[in-house]
Amino acid sequence: MLALFALWWRLSSGPIELDIATPWLTAAIKENLGAGHEVEIGGTQLERDAKKGRTSLRIRDIVVRDADGTIVASAPTAPAPSQPIRSPANAERAAAAARPEPPASAAPLAPAAPASVRSSVPDLAALIAWIERLDASGLDGRELTEIGLQGGNLTVDDQRNGKQWTFTNIDLSVTRPKGGGIAVALGSHSLERPWHLRAAMTPGQQGHRIIDIETQKLSTKDVMLAMRLNADQYEADLPLSGRIRADVGPDGIPYMLDGRIVVEKGLIVDLDDPLVRVPIDRAEISLDWDKSRRALVAPFQVVSGGTRITLLAQFESPHDGSGIWGLQISGGGAVLASAPVDPHALVLNRVLLRMRINPAKQRIDLDPSEVGNTDLGIALTGSLDFSGDDPRVTLGFASTRMSVAAMKRLWPVTVASKVRAWVVDHVQAGTIERIDISTNAPWSTLKSSGPPVPDDGLLIQLTGHGGEMRPVEGLPAIRDADVNLHISGRTAVINIGRGNVDISSGRKLSITNGVFEVPDTFPKAPPAKVRFRLDGSVPAAVELLSMQRLRDFSGAPIEASTSRGTLTAQVTLALPLKEDLAPGSSLYTVNMDIANFAAERMVMGQKVEAALLKVSANNLGHWIRGDVKMNGVPSVLDYRKPRDGDADVRVQATLDENARSKFGFDLGGVLTGPVPIKLSGRVAANDGDSRFAVEADLTQSKVDNLLPGWVKPPGRPGRATFTLIKQPPATRIEDLVVEGVGTSVKGTLEVDAAGDVVSANFPVFAVSDGDKATLKAERGADGALRVSVRGDVYDGRGFVKSTLTGPANSKQKTDKDVDLDIKIGTVVGFNGETLRGLDLRLSRRSGVITSLALNAKLGRDAPLTGDLRGRGSNGRQLVFIESNDAGAFFRFTDMNSKVAGGAMWVALDPQSADLAPQEGILNIRDFVVRGEAALERVAAAPEQAGGGSPGVQFSRLRVEFTRSLGRFTIRDGLLKGPTIGGTVEGYIDYHRDEVRMRGTFVPLYGLNNMFGQLPIVGPFLGGSNEGLLGVTYEVVGPPSTPVLRVNPISAVAPGLLRKFFEFPGGNAPMPAQSYAEPAGRY
């Protein structure tokens, strides 16, 4: 007795370490668990619980490992009561309780719905009998009254699917109350998610048993695991709280049952298909057993977002011994909404579902049922047969007219879930005329993780109108669409008869013959195909392509505000059905016909027009082709634009002067006539270089110094090829090759944005047969173009002709600032004449010649010089050219081939920037005119031996002239000679290839002119430059071969009367002022 008191006193002070018993307990537990397990115990202690007034033997730090060393159970402490302590078996069971045995096999689990009734209705009598035996014999079959676990870790290794769950900080207590029965307490004090489960069964009167079950925030996921329900398909993470009380009779039939279960906020997710998820805000179920009817009445309410379902479920037990239970859901109603405040919420106030549950046949039948309201109605019928390994679902669904919003809320998430998710996200509005759904397939095929649905296992048909859908996020919706949906097995097809796409105010596109097809809905992200016809205006289509979603892929080269036309397009799309469809994940093809098309700055900055244009586009780029007008020029266009590269362009056109000007090639008058061209190359996508290969046929065109000295009439073959490189702000012409009859030019050229030459290099510069010359040009820092020409031989006939006649028109572009440096051994002129040792240096600023130096040999080594000289007191600058062989000069320039010898000089105003007329004087001394028979007859020149003639000699010729655009106007011309003199006036028009001059020949000029010098009567006797007797004449014809004609009758009309016999003149009005000869040259 004293020893017991001392032990009690010691226990009241604290636990007593009893490690001497640890090896004994370890061996006992290991023996109880069986071979293949290792047991580790950290220590054993004896303690007293003052609150409960009892003594316990506590085992610390228990660890149980399997044969592989894997921890299958562990606990920091395991209490066992000390009254009585008969064997270490109590501690062994405490450790073993932490390790639940896995199922014997890993056979596939039945789905959640049939699992609840997979065998039969629970046998409550057998369950209560088992609990009574446990109460009578103790928890260990002897006298154990309590077993517990504190702060333990529970690891569940499910051999069915290889998954593993770990529960930490678990408290478990199983006790036998003194009054009989059994009580279980299980829970966790985890700070993150505490939960508790308490269940007790106590004896009542007359063999009744009182059952009381209470839960607080118990996870439904853990409940499904404990009940061995299939958690591979759905994961229900919902906190479960509630209490159920029942009075069960000896026969296992409830006499009383009531309770309340509350489900707090959580989520139900299809693990195989993230698109299928059901959020639950709150759910509540009340239970009440009606003994008289032997029915369980269960009103319930489920709240999910804006959806609220309030209904009454009634389970009726079998009455006729058939074993068939009845279930009816009715009353209340359902509000289906997408948000707590949803003006388009669907209210179902007529719900009646009738089901029969046959546990023996393992079958649930849905009798004809209905769901609806005053506007819509849904008829339902079907069955679920789970007698086999794979339950089979049969369902019939038919509805009346409803809105798309109602259809989306009624569409079950488990039926064609991927198609449903797409419809929910992309179909906004419309009216459904009818829906028919029929299912006859195994349950596994309806799961997203199961095998595919058989072709005859699912049929959905839907017809609607006025639909509004947005197939691709970021693009306009299709409105007013006629829709027909057909789902057969795994194939889903949506047909759109017609619809409209509103782009912006006043712009729309019409869509017809649309088909949205999902050939196989089984894969994770099933591929979908879309095809439709699109009609509308070009501006609407351009605005659609300019939207953010398509901008980076279309690369449309036109703008909506500057385009017009109507289009018809066939469009096909291929895209996966998945959330957050990334740009570029869809494939598209567009084939388009555009009528009456026009767009500004479409190709190379040019306006494009076409009566009919074909356009093709896909993810790789677009292709435009057809007969078009580019800036009004008929052309054949082939334009290909890759998605991420430069555009390829091919153009064939014939360009005249107007067309060339529109394209930025305003060549003035140097190139006239049509020029067929072929252009091919690439247009830079951003700020890169655009490069084009150009071929130009110059046969039908006229060339007038397009290159210095190159003159070509129409009809003479000519061809130019080059590579055009647009490198803003400059344009380069590389690999230039000009070929023609006697013409060969090769080199490069660069011009700026204004079309002015920046640089040029022509190592081969031959505009005629036999030319050997090179040309280089470079624009200096001061803006002047420095041109250098070097060569041995050069045909200068074209250059000379253009220099004498001037530009073809006032619009011909010339450089205002230029420096010329020309050195050529021989320059070939007209009539066999040449310039030898030509050295020409000329500078022009602001279009005015500022310096000139000309040196060459002409004829029989006669010098030809030119420079600028000042005149008069104001120092006015004049171009002064002189030579001692005027005849050779005239033959070289093809002005007159019949003049021989003579010393000449020409004084001429320098050319101005505005190409104003130039005034000048020509003066020749001591020359002879040979080969003019009419002139020789008038002069009565004697013939030489052999029939030749020495010609008509003149001592002086003085002519005032005006040089304008291609025209020389001659006035106050005076000829003096020993035998004959005369006057001359008229013009030479090189553009019209015409000479028209007139005047009077005065025989014996010295004697005859005396009468005209007499005062008063002199003007009546011929004037100061004519004589009493004379013969009128005219010179007409082309400048190269003019014809001299005289009027012999005029010889009989003296003096003033001779004016009546003059030939008609063609001179324009003469200027009011003329310039005198340079000083010292009278």
**Cα 855 to Cα 786: distance, rounded to the nearest angstrom:** 20
The amino acid occupying position 965 is: L
In a domain, residue 378? The reply is: no
27 versus 668: the higher-pLDDT residue is: 27
705-737 b/e (C-beta count within 10 Å ≥ 16 → b): bbbbbbbbeeebebebebebbbeeeebbbeebe
Return the amino acid letter for 564.
R
In 3D space, the residue among 818, 750, 817, 832 whose CA is nearest the CA of residue 789 turns out to be 818
pLDDT of amino acid 1073: 38
- What does the pLDDT look like over 223-253, one tens digit per residue? 776 665 555 567 788 899 999 999 988 877 7
Backbone angles phi, psi at 1012, to 5 degrees: -75, -15
Same domain, 824 and 962: no
Q: Looking at the domain assignment, is residue 586 inside a domain?
A: no
Rounded CA-CA distance 1021/79 in Å is 162
Chain centroid, CA 744 distance in Å: 46
Name the residue with higher pLDDT: 514 or 934. 514
What are 130's strand-pairing partners?
none
Across the range 993-1014, mean pLDDT stands at: 69
With residues binned 3-state (H G I as helix, E B as strand, rest as coil), the percentages for the chain, rounded to 5, are: 15, 50, 35
Q: Nearest 5°: phi and psi at 384?
A: -135, 115
Q: What would the DSSP string read from start to end of 347-407?
A: EE-EEEEEEEEETTTTEEEEEEEEEE-SS-EEEEEEEEE-SSSS-EEEEEEEE-SEEHHHH
CA separation for the pair 628, 240 (Å, rounded)? 74
Indicate whether 854 belongs to any domain.
no
pLDDT digits (tens, 9 = 90+) for 457-491: 889 898 999 888 887 777 888 888 898 989 898 89
Helix, coil or strand: residue 129: helix
Mean pLDDT lowest for which of 9-13, 70-74, 82-86, 511-515?
82-86
**Biggest distance spanned by C-alpha atoms of the chain:** 189
For strands 671-672 and 675-683, give the pairing: unpaired
Q: Is 885:858 a contact under the CB 8 Å cutoff?
A: yes
Do residues 707 and 682 touch, judged by C-beta distance below 8 A?
A: no
For residue 746, tell me if it sits in a domain: yes
With a cut of 50, say whether residue 354 has pLDDT above it.
yes
User: With contact defined as beta carbons under 8 Å apart, do 502 and 508 qualify?
Assistant: yes
Length of the chain: 1082
Dig out the tokens for 591 from the structure: 């084939």
Q: Is residue 690 part of a domain?
A: yes
In percent, the amount of the chain with pLDDT more than 70 equals: 76
Same domain, 664 and 806: yes
Residue 560, judged by CB atoms within 10 A of its CB (0-12, 13-18, 19+), counts as buried
Determine how many CB atoms are found less than 10 A away from the CB of residue 1046.
18
Per residue in 682-723, pLDDT (tens digit) is 887 777 788 899 999 999 998 887 887 788 889 999 999 999
- The whole-angstrom separation of Cα 593 and Cα 356 is 62
Q: What is the dihedral of CA 800, 803, 808, 810, to 10 degrees?
A: 170
Phi, psi at residue 140, to the nearest 5°?
Answer: -105, 15
Kindly state whether residues 801 and 944 are assigned to the same domain.
no
Query: Could you give the CA distance from residue 503 to residue 646 in angstroms, rounded to a whole number?
Result: 29
Where do we find the tokens 């469809």?
581
Residues 664 and 792 in one domain: yes
Q: Which residue has the tokens 């993810």?
A: 619
The reported pTM is 0.59
Q: How many structural domains are present in the chain?
A: 2
- Rg for the chain (alpha carbons), in Å? 57
From 724, 716, 772, select the one nearest 744 (Cα to Cα): 772
**Tokens at 136, concatenated:** 């009578």
Q: State pLDDT tens for residues 728-765.
A: 778 899 999 999 888 999 999 998 877 788 999 999 99
886-899 pLDDT, tens per residue? 999 999 988 888 89
pLDDT at residue 188, rounded to an integer? 86
Mean pLDDT of 338-367: 87
What pLDDT is recorded for position 1017?
Answer: 45
What pLDDT shows up at residue 102?
Answer: 35
Q: What pLDDT is stored for residue 424 in this prediction?
A: 82
Whole-angstrom distance, CA of residue 593 vs CA of residue 512: 16
Measured distance CA(114)–CA(110) in Å, rounded: 7
Domain annotation covers residue 1050: yes
Per-residue CA distances from 435 to 192, 276, 446, 519, 613 (Å): 47, 22, 19, 21, 44
Average pLDDT over residues 413-441: 82
For residue 31, what pLDDT band results from cuts at 50, 70 and 90? Answer: low
Band of pLDDT at residue 1079, cut at 50, 70 and 90: very low
Tokens at 427, concatenated: 């179909």
Q: What's the pLDDT score for residue 94? A: 32
Tell how strand 818-828 and strand 785-795 pair up.
Answer: parallel
Distance CA 181, CA 135 (A): 6
pLDDT value of residue 79: 54
pLDDT band at 15 (very low <50, low <70, confident <90, very high): low
Q: Same domain, yes or no, for 813 and 949?
A: no
Quick check: is 1080 in a domain? no
- Look at 252 and 302; give whichever has higher pLDDT: 302
Q: Which domain holds residue 1031?
A: 917-1061
168 is written with which tokens?
């930490």
Structure confidence at residue 595 (pLDDT): 92
Average pLDDT of the chain?
Answer: 78
In a domain, 338, yes or no: no
Residue 773: band (very low, low, confident or very high) from pLDDT cuts 50, 70, 90: very high
Q: Which residue has the higher pLDDT, 437 or 154?
A: 437
Residue 1050, pLDDT above cutoff 70: no
Domain match, 663 and 806 both: yes
pLDDT in the model for residue 761: 95
Of residues 18 and 652, more confidence is placed in: 652
Q: Which residues of 620-651 are buried (b: 16+ CB within 10 A; e: fewer)?
A: ebbbbbbebbbbebebebebbbebeebbbbbb
Token duo for residue 1043:
């014809």
CA distance 134 to 137: 5
> How far is residue 406's CA from residue 1041's CA, in Å, rounded to a whole number?
99
- Could you give the CA distance from residue 594 to residue 339 in angstroms, rounded to a whole number? 46
Instruction: Please give the single-letter amino acid code of residue 397.
Output: F
> In this predicted structure, what is the pLDDT of residue 1081?
38
DSSP letter at 213? E
Cβ atoms of 336 and 307 closer than 8 Å: yes
pLDDT band at 88 (very low <50, low <70, confident <90, very high): very low
The whole-number pLDDT of residue 75 equals 66
Domain-ending residue, one of 776, 797, 828: 828
Q: What is the mean pLDDT of residues 178-203?
A: 85
- Give yes or no: residues 686 and 789 share one domain: yes
816 and 667 within one domain: yes
The 3-state DSSP class for residue 657 equals helix
Task: Looking at the structure, tell me whether residues 704 and 822 fall in a common domain.
Answer: yes
Burial class (CB in 10 A: 0-12, 13-18, 19+), 252: middle
Tell me the C-alpha distance between 662 and 631, whole Å: 7
Question: Is it the case that residue 569 has pLDDT exceeding 80?
Answer: yes
